Amino acid sequence: MDTETQIVNENEERRQLWRGHLDRQSRSGKTIKAYCAENGVKPWNFFYWRKALAPKEVEGGFLELATGPRAGMTLAIGGCTIGVERGFDPTLLREIVAALRPG
């Protein structure tokens, strides 16, 4: 494995670790301060990663949720989760999302 690939893999592992912390804190119902204290996480680190991993608006009205050579997106809407790989058909995805929206 070359150095660049190793760095990409380590960065993705770090992102996954922090996505897990963000998800567990959100589901726990605890304050960030309490969650961090119980899990040995520095609050400033938690806030950094929350901002770093926040979805970003991209062209076409979609949100960028992950980056990297194999990254795709996962959308949660209307109680459904949709996994989308790179190269997806954006028109089809818009139609699917519209069909799943409540109301």
Q: Give the percent of the chain with pLDDT over 90.
A: 23
Q: Kindly list the distances between the CA atom of residue 6 and the CA atoms of 2, 67, 93, in Å, as whole numbers in the listed order.
A: 6, 15, 32
Q: Which amino acid is at 26?
A: S
Say if residue 74's pLDDT is above 80: no
**pTM score, two decimals?**
0.51
Selection from 9, 12, 22 nearest residue 48 by Cα: 22
Q: For residue 43, count other CB atoms closer than 10 A to its CB.
A: 13
Q: Is 72 left (phi over 0), alpha (psi -120 to 50) or beta?
A: beta
pLDDT tens-place string over residues 16-58? 899 999 999 989 999 999 999 999 999 999 999 888 888 765 5
Q: Give the percent of the chain with pLDDT over 70.
A: 73
Q: Are strands 73-77 and 56-57 parallel, antiparallel or unpaired?
A: unpaired
pLDDT tens-place string over residues 12-26? 888 889 999 999 998
User: What gap in Å lies between CA 77 and CA 31, rounded to an integer?
Assistant: 25
Q: Which amino acid is at 14?
A: R
Q: Which amino acid is at 62?
A: F
Contact 26, 54 (CB under 8 A): no
